Amino acid sequence: MPELHPDLAVLAPLLGTWTGTGTGEYPTIETFGYVEEIAIGHIGKPFLTYSQRTRAADDGRPLHAETGYLRVPSPGRIELVVAHPTGVTEIDEGTLSVTDNGLAIELDSTSIGLTGSAKNVTALSRSFQLAGDELSYTVRMAAVGVPLTHHLAATLHRQQR
């Protein structure tokens, strides 16, 4: 495998495969549990690859997937570009800080793209906390007439680097 691009050294602790469980809720849907796997890798260029898959906790049916890239354009800044199979694309920008335990990432959407058949998502916001081999996150979403509100929360554990 190629060496990690030096611009991404601060993100090295994110590399690997992460699995865990989470809970989703939104005012327009029933609360649900899910099982998740996130894979974060690199190819030696100044970005990390990101892929995510979830399945229902109750019966294992596929729920969601997304794929994208993480970039560090300058110290303390981070960008996430994500494509969803539901016809939504998101560009998020925010802050990246090293904490006593690991990393803290705060991202807000700067652009949401929608296909003609996609649900009307107008904003997304993500928070990640990395402490050792535990990665937790929350996602807030504004969609279908509902203002930005809590949607997802999960805790994952590193399976491999």
- Is residue 118 within 8 Å of 111, Cβ to Cβ? no
Asked if the structure places residue 106 within a domain, the reply is yes
Asked if the structure places residue 148 within a domain, the reply is yes
Asked if the structure places residue 36 within a domain, the reply is yes
Asked if the structure places residue 52 within a domain, the reply is yes
Domain range for 59 is: 6-160
pLDDT at 161: 73
Q: What is the mean pLDDT of the chain?
A: 96
Asked if the structure places residue 76 within a domain, the reply is yes
Binding residues for heme b: 28, 119, 151
Asked if the structure places residue 102 within a domain, the reply is yes
Asked if the structure places residue 41 within a domain, the reply is yes
pTM for the model stands at 0.95
Distance in angstroms (rounded) separating the CA atoms of residues 112 and 118:
11
Asked if the structure places residue 1 within a domain, the reply is no
pLDDT at 108: 98
Q: What domain count does the chain have? A: 1
| CATH number of domain containing 93 | 2.40.128.20
- Is residue 68 within 8 Å of 91, Cβ to Cβ? no
Residue 103 pLDDT > 80: yes
pLDDT at 100: 87
pLDDT at 101: 86
| Of 66, 71, 69, 108, the residue nearest 83 (C-alpha) | 66
Binding residues: 28, 119, 151
3-49: per-residue pLDDT in tens? 999 999 999 999 999 999 999 999 999 999 999 999 999 999 999 99
Tally Cβ neighbours within 10 Å of residue 1: 7
